[in-house]
Amino acid sequence: MEHTASEDITWEPAPAQHFTGEVWFGALSRVPEPGLNALGVHFAPGARTDWHSHPDGQVLYIAAGAGKVQNRDGETVAVSAGDVVYSPAGEVHWHGSTTHTHMMHLSLTTGGATEWLAEKVTDDDYAR
């Protein structure tokens, strides 16, 4: 058993080229690739990912705050603490906070790195 106290989890700024606004990553997994990647992600109000997909899909568990998740078909779900969203393998989508609240979610993925589209989420997409 390995216990990591919260103060020993390192939070780092998310890579700016794939995000809009202020986003932080907290690495939670201790499992080497290609195992489970458990990542805490904190979004300041108005922050969001770029459009992307995950090779084996993604489970999002909303741990705090509120936000939204949208796919390429324009389907948008409002999420808040305690909600779970599953994006199937290869589904292009984005996730982020609302304009007026923070959001922290846990991201659970296997199968390797996020596949980023070279495409920001526009203010029009975000407002939908």
DSSP 110: -
3-class SS at 127?
A: helix
Q: Of residues 20, 58, 70, 97, which one binds Mn ion by CB under 5 A?
A: 58
Q: Which amino acid is at 82?
A: G
Binding region for Mn ion (CB under 5 A) out of 23-31, 39-47, 53-61, 72-80: 53-61
Q: In the complex, which residue's CB is closest to Mn ion? A: 58
Q: How far is CA 85 from CA 3, 18, 69, 106, 124, in A?
A: 27, 20, 8, 10, 22
Contact (CB, 8 A) for 47 and 61: no
For residue 1, the minimal CB distance to Mn ion (Å) is: 30
CA-based R_g, the chain, Å: 14
Tokens of 106: 């846990």
* 17-25, 50-58, 74-82, 116-124 -> range binding Mn ion (CB under 5 A): 50-58
C-beta of 7 vs 44, nearer to Mn ion: 44
Work out whether 37 is an interface residue with Mn ion (CB under 5 A): no
Q: Does 20 bind Mn ion (CB under 5 A)?
A: no
Q: Of the ranges 8-16, 40-48, 57-65, 120-128, which one interacts with Mn ion (CB under 5 A)? A: 57-65
